[in-house]
Amino acid sequence: MTLAHKDNSPEPNGHTQVVAVTGGICDGKTTVLKMFDEFGAKTLSADSVAQELLCPGTDLWERVHREFASELRVFERGLLADLIANNPQARRRLNRLMHPPIVAAIYKEIEQVRSTSRGIFVVEAPLLIEIGIQGQYDRILVASAGYTIQLERLTQRLGDRDKAALYLQSQLPTSVKRAFADWIVDTSYPLNVVRSEVLRIWTELSYTLRVGLIDSSV
């Protein structure tokens, strides 16, 4: 396990610390998020937000459907994922449609939490660095398994090693994201080791929050 610190990290507000969990596909982001949830954090997944916004019948669904109707005979998420993995231009078109409402929904939730509660709020944000919204968060954790393990995990998920490699090639490498991290959790280790590291970070966050609350009351 390694620990990295940014030089320009924003100071916690003393009431709520908002932490982003980011990384690449099959880097273990969701596993880390679930661990924070088990420890008592309020959590949110950007993928869950995207799925909710892209439900059939929603405005975003209709817009995306219209955008790609000529390229997909049947509009399904899996077929759309295949298309954007093979076509950078199509990926940019989808991102232009998807990113603004997703970012807005997450920002609204963050502001709601900051204004109404105290504690630790952890958001799984896969495209945090790509979109350039890291400034919305107090701390950033990067989950990193390494390319070989990412490829193995994604191959198991997709059943196709070539497709898995293509997906990974279409993404910003996790190695680039590591430079933005306050913490880097190596998720190539067994789950009990990863859990111990996440618990250590949770304990550090909890202590920082308590100190901030004490200082603000003095």
Q: Is residue 16 exposed (0-12), middle (13-18) or buried (19+ Cβ within 10 Å)? A: buried
* DSSP SS3 for 79: helix
pLDDT band at 3 (very low <50, low <70, confident <90, very high): very low
pLDDT, tens only, 4-49: 333 333 344 447 899 999 999 999 999 999 999 999 999 999 989 9
Domains, the chain, ordered by start: 2-54+105-217 (3.40.50.300)
How far apart CA 205 and CA 108 sit, in angstroms, is 23
pLDDT, tens only, 139-198: 999 999 999 999 999 999 989 999 899 889 989 999 999 999 999 999 999 999 999 999
pLDDT above 90 (res 129): yes
How far apart CA 119 and CA 42 sit, in angstroms, is 8
pLDDT for 75 equals 79
* DSSP SS3 for 98: helix
pLDDT above 70 (res 214): no
Alpha carbon separation from 60 to 52, 64, 95, 109, 147 (Å, rounded):
10, 6, 12, 19, 33
The token duo for 104 is 């807005």
Proportion of the chain above pLDDT 90, given as a percent? 65
Predicted TM-score (pTM) of the model is 0.84
In this structure, what is the dihedral angle of CA atoms 185, 191, 196, 202, given to the nearest 10 degrees?
Answer: 60
**What are the DSSP E strand ranges found in the chain?**
2-3, 16-23, 42-45, 119-124, 139-144, 183-186
How far apart CA 187 and CA 86 sit, in angstroms, is 28
